[in-house]
Amino acid sequence: EMDEYPPHKVAVLVSGSQGEPLSVLSQVARDSHRIRIQPGDTVILSSTPIPGNEEDVWRTVNRLIRLGARVVYDMITPVHASGHASQEELKLVYSLLRPLYVIPFHGEPRMMQAYTEILIGMGVPRDSVIWLENGDRLGLDGTSAKILEPIPSAGSILVDGLSEGGVSDAVLRDRRYLALGGTVIVTLTLDAATGAVVSGPEFVARGFMDEASAAGLFEEAAELVLRALNEEAGEDDLEREAPAAVVHATVSRLLRRRTGRRPVVVPIVVEV
């Protein structure tokens, strides 16, 4: 029906004030939506970018301008319209609903406290305003409300599309170590009967140091690994450490002492 009216009589409300990639406004800005920007069109963003969204918002604005639109936003004209209700609007909603209990959420404690004080000022008993934290459970039976036992764990869950139930703390810890120090893989082959080194150790590093800079360091590490393994070979069976543990401890200690960094050291020991 838009085509039945002249452009100066058409106003369209669309989503995308925060530059969301799949929003209508972002698609319009990419010229991939059935709503097309024509030179001289005016686009009004009646919002301000939420911290963290600035890049997406300004990318959308720039694309709209390239298509010939005149973009009006709060930094140049006061057009911001809050998406949050005012105190009087909150009072009106409560007066219309008259609920037995009110549960403030989606806000910081200071905001929840302000809302609670509004309700108390309207004569609502403080016991009827229930605050909950992440993990709390509330039981309702139609006439009363009761705080139940909280769930064992609650909070943010990182989902990477592969891990069932979210990414564990151990995985996150390993990823932080990899990001900060990189990884060093140490491979060597041992004689299964005697424990003697058949080949190696050989080093492969990713995200730690460039190959040329690390060459001398890895040569020193190889000498220390061979010496440590020979010393372990002379120990009684009960006192002898696993070769992989010896390699890990020796290499980690040297790299930390020489570089001040803590890469993830992965020893691979093959017995033949």
Burial (CB count <10 Å: 0-12, 13-18, 19+), residue 182: middle
Gyration radius of the chain's alpha carbons: 32
Residue 200 has pLDDT above 60, yes or no: yes
| Residue, of 217 and 157, whose pLDDT is higher | 217
Residue 239: pLDDT band (50, 70, 90) is very low
Residue 1: pLDDT band (50, 70, 90) is confident
Task: Tell me the two tokens of residue 264.
Answer: 């993830």
Burial (CB count <10 Å: 0-12, 13-18, 19+), residue 155: exposed
DSSP per position, 230-250: HHHHTS-TTTPPPHHHHHHHH
| Residue, of 66 and 193, whose pLDDT is higher | 66
Task: Give me the residue spans of the domains in the chain.
Answer: 10-72, 87-148, 174-271
Predicted pLDDT at 155? 64
Predicted pLDDT at 159? 65
Predicted pLDDT at 220? 87
What is the pLDDT of the chain when averaged over all its residues?
A: 85
Residue 166: pLDDT band (50, 70, 90) is low
Q: 90-109, pLDDT tens digit by residue?
A: 999 999 999 999 999 888 89
Predicted pLDDT at 252? 87
Residue 129 has pLDDT above 80, yes or no: yes
Secondary structure element (H or E) that encloses residue 113, with its range:
helix 109-121
Residue 238: pLDDT band (50, 70, 90) is very low
Strand bridging mode 145-148 / 137-140: antiparallel
Does 10-72 carry CATH code 3.10.20.30?
A: no
Predicted pLDDT at 98? 93
Q: How far is CA 171 from CA 204, 230, 256, in A?
A: 22, 34, 22
Residue 47: pLDDT band (50, 70, 90) is confident
Predicted pLDDT at 226? 86
Q: How many helices (H) and strands (E) does the chain have?
A: 7, 7
Predicted pLDDT at 59? 92
| Distance from C-alpha of 60 to C-alpha of 15, rounded to nearest angstrom | 12
pLDDT above 90: percentage of residues in the chain: 33
Q: Do 10-72 and 174-271 show the same overall fold?
A: no
DSSP class of 57: H
Q: 9-36, pLDDT tens digit by residue?
A: 999 999 998 989 889 999 999 998 989 9
Q: What is the pTM of this model?
A: 0.45
For 174-271, CATH number out of 3.40.50.150, 3.60.150.10, 3.40.640.10, 3.10.20.580 equals: 3.10.20.580
**Contacts by residues 259-264 (CB-CB < 8 Å, ≥ 24 positions apart):** 259/209, 259/217, 261/180, 261/181, 261/182, 261/208, 262/177, 262/180, 262/181, 263/177, 263/181, 263/182, 263/183, 263/184, 263/205, 263/207, 263/208, 264/174, 264/177, 264/178, 264/181, 264/182, 264/183, 264/184
End-to-end distance of the chain based on CA atoms, in angstroms? Answer: 78
